[in-house]
Amino acid sequence: MAAISQGIEATTALFLANSNKFLFSSCGSSLSEKKRNFFVVKSDGKSYSGLNQQQRRAQKVVTNAIATKKDKAPSSTASKPGHELLLFEALREGLEEEMDRDPCVCVMGEDVGHYGGSYKVTKGLAEKYGDLRVLDTPIAENSFTGMGIGAAMSGLRPIVEGMNMGFLLLAFNQISNNCGMLHYTSGGQFKIPIVIRGPGGVGRQLGAEHSQRLESYFQSIPGIQMVACSTAYNAKGLMKAAIRSENPVILFEHVLLYNLKERIPDEEYVLNLEEAEMVRPGEHVTILTYSRMRYHVMQAAKTLVNKGYDPEVIDIRSLKPFDLYTIGNSVKKTHRVLIVEECMRTGGIGASLTAAITENFHDYLDAPIVCLSSQDVPTPYSGTLEEWTVVQPAQIVAAVEQLCQLLR
């Protein structure tokens, strides 16, 4: 609790010194007022407002943290006008729109300010919003994560960036004992509307410490939601939904997906934090995946189609909780399940997903669930050995063939 107390004090001093009236009167303003202006807070405590650039776009604002099915924008945008963005640019656009919309939204982390973040997700935001809404912190993950949680308890909506997800292990106590549990342990007196995000996953020869997949670490923490983006479209939609959520959300971004380009709508949209995406409908086998493995699965799907198989591919996106409605309907149709993940095999997302499917849909399965995961070894620096530790498309093809041949 010391880090939380320090976080509340530091945040209060930081955001409210010389601008007390501004910040919380702005946080209580109406949505229409927030849409008209954005707010800049400089390090000297001075503030000013400017016209919202998003006003030029036709908007349909979803005010809830989670969009309803009828409000959800369609997954396919190829036939609609829009603009092309790289995934990291889509994250930035979603973040910028929310900072324009709500003056309580702020960003903190190492090098997020004038440097623009380690992967440029926050590039240009410090110049636009000021040093106190885009706050550079020391290299002290436990301290600035605690400060972010304190800020959320005080009424702000902070986004905490870990320069690398592996570094957030230093803040595990704050994330588990404070971020996930304070709403419960305070008897509902505090909400923790915080987003914790950053790059992770196996990169290209980044070494063991920088190739962490922390989904398995955080999934057991009560009170925390987890989502993983895989395209520019869902990166922006999930970012906006996470910021609007009243729950603490961990947003996992894969280091090798930042430069993927996609056309996304000009209109504002917010995705459902608890909904999976049907990537490819099929009949023979359900393949459940997320993040970077989505692309390995789709590469394997081309080979499988040529061999006469019809796989159904689902990007689960919500790592906690699972969208058992979408998953269950697919299992009832195909009766076979293959899980493909980059997470570790022992105690990973695949293990939890296997348990959930077995408990809820066992009677619909015609074959054992197969789970392809990374090997339980530190990720080697050698590029060749690194590839051997994670699932490759050829393994996915072989697993589907084995599953489908069980009933022949």
Catalytic residues: 141, 210
What is the residue whose two structure tokens read 């983006």?
229
Token couple for 191:
């909400």
Count helices and strands (H / E) in the chain.
15, 16
Are 38 and 49 in contact, with CB atoms under 8 Å apart?
yes
Task: DSSP letter for 45, please.
Answer: S
Token couple for 101:
């919309």
Rounded to an integer, what distance in angstroms lies between the CA atom of residue 393 and that of residue 388? 12
Report cis status (omega within 30 of 0) of the bond before 321. Answer: yes
- Per-residue CA distances from 10 to 22, 130, 224 (Å): 18, 17, 24
Give ∠ CA 249-279-258 in degrees, rounded to 5: 55
Rounded to an integer, what distance in angstroms lies between the CA atom of residue 25 and that of residue 22? 6
Token couple for 370:
């197969």
Question: Residue 97 is which amino acid?
Answer: E
- Per-residue CA distances from 398 to 160, 220, 330, 391, 401 (Å): 40, 32, 21, 12, 5
Rounded to an integer, what distance in angstroms lies between the CA atom of residue 382 and that of residue 404? 35
Rounded to an integer, what distance in angstroms lies between the CA atom of residue 256 and that of residue 260? 8
Are 59 and 34 in contact, with CB atoms under 8 Å apart?
no
| Residues constituting the chain | 408
Instruction: Write phi, then psi, for 286 (nearest 5 degrees).
Output: -95, 120
- Per-residue CA distances from 185 to 9, 31, 97, 180, 191 (Å): 20, 31, 33, 10, 11
Burial of 307 (0-12, 13-18, 19+ CB in 10 A): exposed
Rounded to an integer, what distance in angstroms lies between the CA atom of residue 85 and that of residue 234? 12
